[in-house]
Amino acid sequence: MPDLAHLYFRTAILFLIAGICVGIYMSMSGNHAVTGAHAHINLLGWVTSALFGTYLALNPAKASGLLPRLQYFVYVIGVIAMGTSLYLMLDGNTALVPVVAAASLVAFAGVLLFAVIIFMPART
């Protein structure tokens, strides 16, 4: 398995741990205000990262070069920034709305870069 695919799985499991911690916090406290952050950390962080890692594991030629590494950093930084700022915003820090918006665009840029990786021809 390419190093980048392995890195994606390591990152994904950390997002799952964080997402479940938020879920357990909500369950124990009865405060479900941060449901949106929980859902996005789990779905963008755990599920999507694991899918990106799976694709790269199945297509090792797509995992080499600068673009896949750039995509990883853009996507992961975007999801960390979005998950954190969304949690704080839903917890009452409404001033963070522009930060959530900016972080969302960074995460989306990571998704668009992955689309380029999928559509580009594999390096031989």
List residues near ligand HEM by CB under 6 A: 20, 23-24, 26-27, 32, 35, 38-39, 42-43, 46-47
CB of 38 to ligand HEM, least distance (A): 5
- Residue with tokens 């689309």, as numbered in its chain: 115
Task: Tell me the residue number closest to ligand HEM, measured at CB.
Answer: 23
Shorter beta-carbon distance to ligand HEM: residue 31 or 102: 31
Shorter beta-carbon distance to ligand HEM: residue 38 or 62: 38
CB of 28 to ligand HEM, least distance (A): 9
Shorter beta-carbon distance to ligand HEM: residue 22 or 63: 22
